[in-house]
Amino acid sequence: MDAVANRHGTVPLQRASGQLAVSVKRRGPHSVLDGLRQVGCLKARFPRPDDSAWRQVVTLNTSGGVAGGDMLDATFAVGEGARATIASQAAERFYRALPDSAPSSVTTRIAVAACGAAEWLPQETILFDRCAVRRRLCVELATDAWFLGVESLIFGRAAMGEVVEFAALRDLFEVRRAGRLLLHDAIRLEGEVSATLRRPAIAAGARAVATLVHVAPDAEAMLDPLRQRGVGASAWDGMLIARMLAADSATLRAAVVDALAVLRGGRALPRVWLC
């Protein structure tokens, strides 16, 4: 889209927008692609799976990152008895927003039908100083559906000497089972984020944070194996939640990979995680 000067002489900034809709169904012992719609900067690729019972979906944002005013919307539907692993090609970056810019808006919806299973395994979200982010992840599960999801937030890349002093972040992770709300996990950080993260009751100076959510009939049975790995976790009502803090993204990723190995029964992570 070309930028055209208006009568006041200002030039409107280009904004990225993308829509993605992917559905997976079961065909015999296999999980296969059922539908695909991609618009704008959001795309999906489907690597050849190591296990055909699981359909791998890899998302891409061809805009190269998310800036203020960008709008991304993705929907994933996993049919009855199907299994899907959704991962991102790389870490997503949320760049500095201009003072008068609208926040970026990122919405993801995942629906899992009866006896279905879905994994939401994006790589890290890297936040830059003075970013403005509104993000929402909504998961709808059938009564006996299986779900595993992780979200990792990196407040500046330590190896690059980056520090997020100020930001405006609103991040919601919501899970419903059979229409009943199981989880409404909302993060709101605005203003002097670095000072907030230094508070002992919040992050005690950590600059990398991860939330891991597992919903399954046997989720509570996974609590002790996870705690034995040194992960702080709680479980109730068929749901397990773990929080992880680290000084940098490399340390956090190692902890997340270790936890995922427990909850995924040792299955290999998507190959994009190894790039």
CB 33 within 8 A of CB 46: yes
Work out the number of other CB atoms within 10 angstroms of the CB of residue 88. 20
pLDDT of residue 5: 42
The verdict on residue 13 lying in a domain is: no
The verdict on residue 4 lying in a domain is: no
pLDDT of residue 10: 54
Q: How many domains does the chain have?
A: 1
pLDDT in tens, the chain (275 residues): 444 344 444 556 678 999 999 999 999 999 999 999 999 999 999 998 788 899 999 999 999 899 999 999 999 999 999 999 999 999 999 999 988 889 999 999 999 999 999 999 999 999 999 999 999 999 999 999 999 999 999 999 888 888 899 999 999 999 999 999 999 999 999 999 999 999 999 999 999 999 999 999 999 999 999 999 999 999 999 999 999 999 999 999 999 999 999 999 989 999 999 87
Query: Cα–Cα distance between 70 and 174 in angstroms, integer?
Result: 22
The verdict on residue 223 lying in a domain is: yes
Task: For Cα atoms 87, 74, 113, give the angle at the middle one, nearest 5 degrees.
Answer: 80
The verdict on residue 6 lying in a domain is: no
User: Which residues, other chains included, contact 224 with Cβ-Cβ below 8 Å and sequence gap of 6+?
Assistant: none
CB 244 within 8 A of CB 252: yes
Distance from the Cα of residue 35 to its chain's centroid: 22
Nearest to 171 by CA among 208, 137, 222: 137
The verdict on residue 236 lying in a domain is: yes
The verdict on residue 2 lying in a domain is: no
Which domain, by its residues, includes 96?
23-274
The verdict on residue 230 lying in a domain is: yes
The verdict on residue 11 lying in a domain is: no
